[in-house]
Amino acid sequence: MPVYKAPTRDTRFIINELLKLESYGNLSGFENASADMVDAVIEEGGKFCSEVLAPLNLSGDQQGCTRHPDGTVTTPDGFKAAHAQFREAGWGTLSAPLEFGGQGMPHVMGFAMEEFVSGANQAWGMYPGLTNGAVSSILVKGSPEQQAKFLPKMISNEWLGTMNLTEPHCGTDLGLIRTRAVPNADGSYAITGTKIFISAGDHDFTDNIIHLVLAKTPDAPDSTKGISLFIVPKVMVNDDGSLGARNAVSCGSLEHKMGIHGNATCVMNYDGATGYLVGEENKGLAAMFIMMNAARLGVGVQGLSQAEAAYQNAVKYAQERRQGRALTGAAEPAEKADTLFVHPDVRRMLMDAKAYTEGMRALCLWGALQVDLVHKAASEEERQTADDLISLLTPVIKGYGTDKGFETAVSMQQVFGGHGYIEEWGMSQFVRDARITQIYEGANGVQAMDLVGRKLAMNGGRAVQTLFSLVDEECAAAKAKPELAIIADKVEKANGELKAATMWFMQNGMANPNNVGAGAHHYMHIMGVVGLGLMWLRMGETALETLAGGTGDPAFYQAKLTTARYFAERFTPDAGALRRKIESGADAIMALPVEAFATA
């Protein structure tokens, strides 16, 4: 049986010591974010995930969901009861606004909890997780009546939400959407069409499900400019908030898929279902992006969570499994063989995982802080900087974060040798569940294009320039400290590669846009290295200060310093190789005619 324990120690280090959440106490929502409060919430939340959700992960994978002839869906044993406990304890409401029944805490706290939920049980976590994206859209674009009617119950998890974008012929290119929304006399719309791959499209957790659906009105342009967003409840909601008749929306079938078996991935049929327009007609794409941006950061966290869960199991296995001898001579001569931990190649995989998971956790929680600062920072300048940085780095957290998350899950499976391939050890599930994070919420190739095609050019390149300066300034300052000099030097070099790649795009993208498309994925990975590099530099500094002050557990902080050095030595060199790939341009990638790809 695989193990999972929420990584609360590391999370508390990041929130209290690295981000110093307490120091933002003058901002609204941060008043109560004292270190004691953070510790209490993180520990209790972690306990819930480790003790209630994690034990349902393997059984949920094995049992999967069941669709009944009437179109209703039952989730695996124990899932519904766990949700009742989650709801009762208010774990879904941490960062939701006070006015709609949330606890109004910083997003950092909600994000930390998301990692624990997903690490414990990704499939389960998607039921409440998708609701957060739906809530974000209604919060920003919904009318006061819609907000009053739907938000309190969605935030309290009495009802859950979904996102309905994808159709059989239309995934990335949402301009192709065919679902129709025809106005009714009472101001509502009749929604007709088929959506596929809808996560949590139907289930038994709650009495009602609030679907957010993209559709086109009859006279809308047949492109992304003609998309509108609608609220479509599974069960109609009366004016007094009570439930009315069943709406004309149902789950037509469940997809059979590679992983996240405990989550119901549904084909959803809308047969003239009653829907309510959110925001303005034909402006659905903007409303949808609010939902997508929240969800993209959440998917980055999912990539991290599967890597963390796989890492914990690999560490345990490497401590127990004995094979061969240390290259430097038997480490435990009394035993017939040493543990896997003595082998540098096994260490390489474990150190890669440690450097990625801890660096990525810091980047995700730092990103969550930027989400808060966009609205709450004291000055306009700080709000703008936070907005620039999180807009730029959202596709990186999603794309780089999940590519590395999957890679890490695979290498942790490798630590188990053949046993990693056998289902009962649970490593296969981490790999299968991690894989979807690279695909949904915009496949990673599309994240890369969002980064290079939209985010780089925003406001004349202001966001990327802000990142360059931030990294350069912090590296220059850190070089003065001998213990950090090697880290600062290598992160600064990676930042130099990022600048050079950016310049190359500027010089070669206009003449041939394929040059940008051909390098986009590599560029996203260089920015990921720089982003994690900045986090490791900061974690190294924090660790150094704590060690110098003689407080805290020295082993924890010494490990941070060593892992920062490992990251600098083993991750940052990739930036140079990736830049050289970018600079080879699109010629060879695009040269062959399609027929040349045939092998038979």
Ligand X SMILES: Cc1cc2nc3c(=O)[nH]c(=O)nc-3n(C[C@H](O)[C@H](O)[C@H](O)COP(=O)(O)OP(=O)(O)OC[C@H]3O[C@@H](n4cnc5c(N)ncnc54)[C@H](O)[C@@H]3O)c2cc1C
The residue among 308 and 441 lying less far from ligand X, judged by its C-beta, is: 441
Taking the least distance from each CB to ligand X, the nearer of 197 and 557 is 197
For the record, the structure tokens of 329 come out as 């001579």
Residue 260's φ and ψ, nearest 5 degrees, are 35, 50
CB of 515 to ligand X, least distance (A): 14
Please, which residues bridge with residue 66 across strands?
74
Query: What are the Cα distances from residue 432, in Å, to 122, 306, 448?
Result: 11, 10, 23
- Region binding ligand X by CB under 6 A among candidate stretches 51-59, 181-189, 196-204, 454-462: 196-204
Task: Identify the CA nearest to 354 among candidates 393, 395, 318, 391.
Answer: 318
What's the min distance (Å) between Cβ of 518 and ligand X? 11
In the complex, what is the shortest distance from the CB of residue 383 to ligand X, in angstroms, rounded to a whole number? Answer: 30
Q: How far is the CB of 446 from ligand X (least distance, A)?
A: 5
Residue type, 280: E
Q: Would you call 20 helix, strand, or coil by DSSP?
A: coil
Choice among 308, 441, 497, 541 that is catalytic: 441
Distances from the Cα of 501 to the Cα of 200, 430, 517, 528, 533, angstroms:
40, 34, 13, 14, 17
Sequential DSSP letters for 48-101? HIIIIIGGGHHHHHHH--EE-TTS-EEPPTTHHHHHHHHHHHTGGGTTS-GGGT
Strand 243-246 with 73-74, pairing: unpaired
Considering beta carbons, is residue 49 or 448 the nearer one to ligand X? 448
Task: Kindly state the smallest distance separating residue 198's Cβ from ligand X, in Å.
Answer: 5
- Only one of the segments 4-12, 157-165, 302-310, 506-514 lies at the binding site for ligand X (rule: CB under 6 A); that segment is 157-165
Would you count residue 365 as binding ligand X (CB under 6 A)?
Answer: no
Q: Is 537 in the site for ligand X (CB under 6 A)?
A: no
Q: Which stretch binds ligand X (CB under 6 A): 96-104, 194-202, 350-358, 370-378?
A: 194-202
Q: Residues 412-441: x/- map of binding to ligand X (CB under 6 A)?
A: ------------------------x--xxx
The single residue among 85, 143, 172, 584 that binds ligand X, judged by CB under 6 A, is 172
Contact 453, 516 (CB under 8 A): yes
Query: CA 12, CA 10: separation in Å to the nearest integer?
Result: 5
Minimum CB separation of residue 456 from ligand X in Å reads 15
How many Å apart are CA 370 and CA 389, to the nearest integer?
8
Residue, CB closest to ligand X = 171
Q: Which stretch binds ligand X (CB under 6 A): 69-77, 78-86, 444-452, 556-564?
A: 444-452
Stretch that binds ligand X, among 161-169, 236-244, 314-322, 524-532 (CB under 6 A): 161-169
CB of 185 to ligand X, least distance (A): 29
Exposed, middle or buried by CB within 10 Å (0-12, 13-18, 19+), for 511? Answer: exposed
Which CB, 103 or 199, lies closer to ligand X? 199
Binding to ligand X in span 257-286, by CB under 6 A: 257, 265
Interior angle at CA 351, CA 345 and CA 356, nearest 5:
135
Q: How far apart are CA 268 and CA 71, in angstroms?
A: 10
Residues 446-475 that bind ligand X (CB under 6 A): 446, 449
Q: Is 441 a catalytic residue?
A: yes
Residue among 46 and 519 whose Cβ is closer to ligand X: 519
What is the binding site for ligand X (CB under 6 A)? 163-166, 171-172, 197-199, 257, 265, 436, 439-443, 445-446, 449
Catalytic residues: 441
